[in-house]
Amino acid sequence: MTVYLRVIDKISKLLFQIYISILSSIPTEIGVRVRYIAYRPLLKNSSGFFKIDSGVSILGFENISFGKNVTIMKNSYLYAHNGGELTIGDNFTLNTNSQLGASFGKIVIGNSCAIAPNCVLRASNHNFDNLNIPFIKQGHKYGEIILEDDIWISANCVVTANTKIGKSSIIGAGAVVTKDVKSYSVMGGVPAKLIRKRK
């Protein structure tokens, strides 16, 4: 009986993936409306209308919360499966080909934030301490990423686990954020360093 239940579970998961894959491929404004209707009951919470363009991959709907006026642009990725948590505030834009990877960890984004194309926010890192074991077999360290309100992350940036970006900060193009950023900061470089204060 247990084997039978496992097979049923695998089939249902496969059918769900096919269903989501079909929905994600529908182009134009029709696709945006269809996804809003279909995805809203799957999400943990949704406060208002959201726009998800075609080609967006989502895993872990049940762990994702949207505020009002959320836009996810083409070919982006939202991951919050395996106990992860992704919370997005109001008036948010994720531009094309960017990734929010909260699986096993946590990403919290405040209000009025924007993330430009080709950015990666990942709430985990590979373990690599043991030189006798390939790093791909050492698992991950999981943490969280916090973006306070009014954050602009420019194109081609990376934000690593266990970092907090303070209110009204700007992360310059190509930067890699590995440590906390104080509010009203303009950051740039690899690793990101303070360029100037906005206030």
Q: Are 182 and 199 contacting, i.e. CB atoms less than 8 angstroms apart? A: no
- Taking residue 34's Cβ as centre, other Cβ atoms within 10 Å add up to 15
Q: Are 176 and 153 contacting, i.e. CB atoms less than 8 angstroms apart? A: no
- Cis amide leading into 27 (omega within 30): no
Q: Are 163 and 173 contacting, i.e. CB atoms less than 8 angstroms apart? A: no
Selecting among 126, 196, 197, 198, the annotated active-site residue is: 126
Alpha-carbon gap, residue 76 to 171, rounded angstroms? 19
126 is catalytic: yes
- Catalytic positions are 126
